Amino acid sequence: MHFSIPYTVEESTGTNSYTGYNIYINGSYHCCLRYKQMHAFHEQLRRRCSELNIQLPAFPPKRLLPLTNGQLETRRAALEHYLQLIGQDVRVSKLDIFQNFLLNAQQETAAAESILEDFGDVTQETTQEVILMNGYQLQVNCHIGDNSGILLEKVCQSIHLPLHLVPYFCLFLMRKDAKDTVVLLRRLMDFESPFLSRLQAKPCQILLRKSYWNPIYDMNLLQDSVALNLLFIQTVSDVDREWIIAVPEIRQKLRNLQEHGFKKEYLEMARQLPLYGCLQFSAAMIDYPDPQTSALISIGNKELSMRTVRGAKIYETKFRVTRMRCWRVTAMHNSLESKDNPSSLQLSFEYLMSKQTLRWITITSAQTMLMSVCLQSMVDELLNFKDSNQLDTKSNNSTNYTNSPPPSYDSRNARISQSSYSLSNEQSSNTSTSSSTSSPTAPVKFIATQRRTKHNPKISTAHSYSAVFFRNAEESVHNEAFEGIGDDDL
């Protein structure tokens, strides 16, 4: 989970003014928070983590006097660094209190920025459209404030997918380009409302795809007819879009199997093809083997693959994830005008080319953030498979907010007020493994006043340079799978 605070805005409530910190998660705008709201949340999180013997990083200290522009920039950077540290600690980021904080912050920001004027509040019922890989459109009844986990369960219930197979699938935001090619924007996470995220990222649609990387998990889906159909239509779609590479004679055999309805046989053949189970990204620029090389990037099968054209030939280079010592994402912007320019994002990874030879390789792409999230999830799955040989099916957040009003932030005394939550009858009977036994609480309540939005903010005089780092105080994610590499792997 990546956090950044690329810029601040000046807000006002009556005669008082304050600084709002616009928080981006995984490259997308998520919410706007005040310092004291984040400080109150830190205190609550600290108490919860102390019970679990988890040490949190230091929170940027309070100041008695108004901040100068320089001090404001220092605080922005410190808050960004704090969020990056706790966001990359899986013990913290999977806590209900953490997930609920982010979900409520998104909901309350949307309300404060008048995004929900035409839709009502977060408890309002609505119909959400979800697309399958064959283009079929599902209409799912949900609430505006439902998080991704809840919507995913409702989608799977509507197509009669068994509950134990739900974690094998996930939701993506996607849009189609001018050539009608599917472009994945990002995976929807449990700390966000798909309705609100889609509203902010228009035009886009919500897409259902499988959530895992290791093809061995296919075996768990082939025994159920609904799961088999989902896997089949996704594979057919990937072959048709040439996300899965097949020579003409193999493509013809696949078409014959498809026409005769031999789904398992189709999947068995497709599983042997290059790039099966991979995500395909749009064309990107990479500095390997030469600077400014145009390449198609795919991620999957424990590797990052790039295809380049040199003359009349197509060359494929594969970078194994276990040989990436670390990676980082950098946002190359330093002004408001360029903060949302996707071409300014770069993914760099340090790769073990040969024994004692490491090289940094840089990719520039609009989908850089999704690439990084995919690499991290692939590493996590790889390490979990080594430990347990099972898919990690624990949900980050399965709390339903629709049956009671959200907890509110009391701005008068900077404390978090408690409100009761309850699961719906259907969910309480089906999510015993994913629901937390602790009572979740929410962090923030925005004052309903007119405010400037992220599209028309008042910017402080300090410009920001946002370097996107992960996990710890160092400048990159250290790949834990790299530690197990041996001479045989080279």
Residue 384 has a pLDDT of: 85
Tokens read off for 384 = 């979990």
Tokens read off for 275 = 């790039």
* 368 shares its domain with 485: yes
Per the structure, how many domains does the chain have?
2
* 346 shares its domain with 432: no
- The region that residue 345 occupies, defined by phi over 0 for left and psi between -120 and 50 for alpha, beta otherwise, is beta
| CA–CA dist 28, 430 (Å, integer) | 32
Within-domain flag for 325: yes
| CA–CA dist 174, 204 (Å, integer) | 5
Within-domain flag for 219: no
For the chain (490 residues), the mean pLDDT of every run of 10, in chain order, is: 86 78 90 92 93 92 83 91 89 92 92 78 89 92 93 95 95 85 89 92 91 93 95 94 91 95 95 92 90 93 90 88 89 50 74 89 91 91 79 50 34 31 32 36 40 44 37 56 63
Q: What is the DSSP string of 364-410?
A: E-TTHHHHHHHHHHHHHHHHHHHHHSS-----S-----TTSPPP-EE
* 322 shares its domain with 409: no
Within-domain flag for 211: no
Within-domain flag for 374: yes
* 355 shares its domain with 483: yes
| CA–CA dist 34, 296 (Å, integer) | 41
- Of how many residues is the chain composed? 490
Within-domain flag for 422: yes
Q: Put the strands of the sheet holding 28-33 in their side by side order.
A: 3-13, 16-25, 28-33
Q: Residue 150's closest CA among 118, 128, 117? A: 128
* 106 shares its domain with 20: yes
Check if the beta carbon of residue 364 is closer than 8 Å to that of residue 285. Answer: yes
* 381 shares its domain with 294: yes
* 430 shares its domain with 386: no
Tokens read off for 336 = 């408001």
Q: Which helix (H) or strand (E) holds 5?
A: strand 3-13
Which residues span the domain enclosing 97? 3-120+404-468
Within-domain flag for 193: no
* 7 shares its domain with 113: yes
* 28 shares its domain with 112: yes
* 113 shares its domain with 54: yes
β-pairing, 16-25 with 28-33? antiparallel
Within-domain flag for 63: yes
* 349 shares its domain with 481: yes
Check if the beta carbon of residue 5 is closer than 8 Å to that of residue 15. Answer: no
| CB-based burial, 288-323: b 16+ in 10 Å, e otherwise | beeeebebbbbbbbbbbbbbbeeeeeeeebebbbbb
CATH of residue 377's domain is: 2.30.29.30
Within-domain flag for 105: yes
* 384 shares its domain with 435: no
